[in-house]
């Protein structure tokens, strides 16, 4: 029943305030989903009258369903009629390549890290990931989505006839005169083809250690380790936690033209001038194993292995670091301390680890509040001892504004915890002490960010 065009009748702010969503017309009856049909809603009634809608029916829905409907069907284009008009003009004139480039332009403007395009029922949803959260940019008819998908496949040199096979590709395009690299992943779902685009060299992505948004203490620790000529620096964390971006900032820091830096990546996420970057391509025979083994024959000073994923990459990284190379890599682990167990599971001798490891960084991305709409409110929840927070205290809360797209979030920054073996080699011998120290430092950092008003209480509770 959902009629996307009806979202213009009352806007997203009113929908959230009233906890309602316009579903569509059933004959002449305007049907609205809500939490409790018995509650009078004068604001909604007034809007309906202005739109000459006389018959309104409220049907009860769960709060989670209403939240999903609002998040899915209230789009960025509804808030900006110029976007809506431009997209509809491209569709009416069949200019799907122009539509693709316009989507990219808006994604860059909104600092999106990813674009998701998928079909659901009769609609094709175009969504942006902004500050870690998915926001619907535009909704077009499903048949138009198929044409848009074909344009993307042509740009990626993919076979447009293959819609059932998963495929990965890379696109390099110029958007308003600026080069943009895009990683494309396509899969088939029960609703149709799903296309995900990762924008790899967005100008808003940090390039220096300072731009990461981490503390002075963390910057000082990292810089002291980057001065070393050999050893291993691991950046760990879940998928999407910004590990590759962090390593990129490290490489930029030491890329002064006097050292030979070689990388092995799958895929290459950021092109860096002055660095030898090797792309894995299993189809052409350049496997990850072969590339990792050949790295040492390139006479490198510094090696970046995009991810330690098996025994071979773990062995090469360890041996390279103890034979005079500075090695960077990433691991998918929940904590810095668990990286030790992961390396042991991959066959790395514990004594070799002790000789090679310099620093393990575990990071997750934490959302910082928008400073432009941040104000004081009274906290009414339970006491939280880790934050020194009690019921009735005044806390900072961002309500949302145009500058943060009404999300209350301005940016996401790494929340880092570190095990610095240079500072305290005995931590390796007592991992329980390392884990406890790691936990205490993380909570202390969260407390400081919360007390400065940088993060909301809901965000802080995710990490304590």
Which of 133, 263, 131 lies closest to 204 in space, CA to CA? Answer: 131
Kindly report, residue by residue over 191-210, the tens digit of the pLDDT. 888 999 999 866 668 889 99
Between the alpha carbon of residue 430 and those of residues 338, 339, 360, 440, 454, the distances in Å are 13, 14, 15, 16, 34
CA distance 14 to 70: 11
Neighbours of 279 (CB within 10 A): 15
DSSP state of 210: G
User: In degrees to the nearest 10, what's the CA dihedral of 278, 165, 126, 199?
Assistant: 0
Confidence (pLDDT) at 172: 86
Structure tokens at 300: 């490198």
Whether residue 267 has a cis bond before it, omega within 30° of 0: yes
| Residues of the chain below pLDDT 50 | 1
Kindly report, residue by residue over 47-103, the tens digit of the pLDDT. 888 888 889 999 999 999 999 999 888 898 888 888 989 999 999 999 999 999 999
Confidence (pLDDT) at 296: 82
Confidence (pLDDT) at 5: 56
Confidence (pLDDT) at 438: 76
CA distance 368 to 362: 19
Burial of 99 (0-12, 13-18, 19+ CB in 10 A): buried
CA distance 293 to 206: 31
Confidence (pLDDT) at 24: 84
CA distance 110 to 76: 10
Using only C-alpha atoms, the chain has a radius of gyration, in whole angstroms, of: 25
- In the beta sheet, which residues pair with residue 398? 374
Long-range contacts from 312-315, C-beta under 8 angstroms, 24+ separation: 313/288, 313/289, 314/343, 314/346, 314/347, 314/348, 315/346, 315/347, 315/348
Q: Are 20 and 13 in contact (CB under 8 A)?
A: no
- pTM equals 0.78
Chain centre to alpha carbon of residue 162: 28
Confidence (pLDDT) at 202: 63
* Positive or negative: CA dihedral 89, 94, 96, 101: negative
């Amino acid at each position: 029943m959902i009629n996307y065009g009806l979202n213009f009748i009352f806007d997203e702010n009113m929908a959230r305030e009233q906890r309602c969503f316009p579903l569509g017309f059933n004959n002449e009856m305007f049907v609205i989903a809500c939490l409790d049909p018995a509650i009078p809603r004068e604001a909604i009634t007034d809007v309906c009258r202005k739109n000459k809608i006389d018959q309104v029916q409220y049907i009860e829905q769960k709060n989670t369903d209403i939240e999903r409907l609002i998040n899915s069907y209230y789009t960025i284009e509804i808030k900006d009629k110029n976007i809506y008009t431009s997209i509809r003009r491209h569709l009416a004139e069949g200019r799907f390549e122009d539509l693709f480039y316009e989507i990219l332009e808006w994604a860059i403007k909104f600092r999106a890290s990813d674009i998701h395009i998928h079909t659901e029922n009769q609609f094709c949803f175009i969504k942006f990931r902004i500050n870690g959260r998915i926001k619907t940019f535009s909704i077009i008819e499903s048949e138009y989505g198929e044409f848009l998908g074909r344009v993307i496949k042509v740009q990626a040199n993919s076979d447009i006839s293959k819609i059932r096979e998963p495929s990965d590709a890379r696109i390099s395009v110029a958007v308003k005169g600026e080069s943009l690299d895009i990683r494309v992943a396509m899969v088939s779902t029960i609703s149709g083809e799903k296309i995900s685009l990762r924008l790899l060299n967005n100008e808003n992505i940090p390039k220096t250690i300072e731009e990461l948004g981490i503390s002075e203490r963390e910057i000082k620790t990292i810089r002291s380790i980057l001065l070393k000529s050999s050893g291993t620096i691991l950046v760990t964390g879940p998928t999407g936690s910004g590990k590759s971006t962090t390593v990129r900032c490290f490489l930029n820091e030491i890329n002064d033209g006097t050292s030979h830096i070689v990388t092995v990546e799958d895929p290459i996420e950021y092109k860096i001038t002055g660095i030898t970057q090797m792309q894995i391509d299993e189809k052409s025979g350049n496997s990850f194993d072969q590339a990792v083994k050949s790295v040492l024959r390139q006479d490198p000073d510094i090696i970046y292995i995009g991810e330690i994923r098996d025994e071979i990459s773990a062995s090469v990284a360890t041996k390279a670091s103890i034979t005079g190379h500075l090695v960077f890599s990433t691991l998918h682990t929940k904590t810095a301390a668990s990286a030790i167990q992961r390396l042991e599971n991959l066959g790395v001798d514990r004594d070799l680890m002790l000789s090679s490891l310099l620093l393990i960084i575990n990071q997750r991305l934490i959302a910082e509040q928008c400073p432009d709409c941040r104000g004081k409110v009274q906290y009414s929840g339970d006491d939280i001892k880790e934050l020194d927070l009690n019921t009735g205290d005044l806390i900072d809360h961002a309500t949302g504004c145009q500058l943060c797209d009404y999300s209350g979030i301005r940016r996401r920054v790494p929340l880092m915890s570190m095990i610095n073996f240079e500072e305290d080699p005995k931590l390796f011998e007592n991992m329980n002490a390392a884990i406890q120290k790691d936990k205490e430092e993380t909570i202390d950092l969260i407390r400081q960010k919360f007390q400065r008003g940088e993060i909301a209480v809901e965000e802080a509770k995710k990490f304590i």
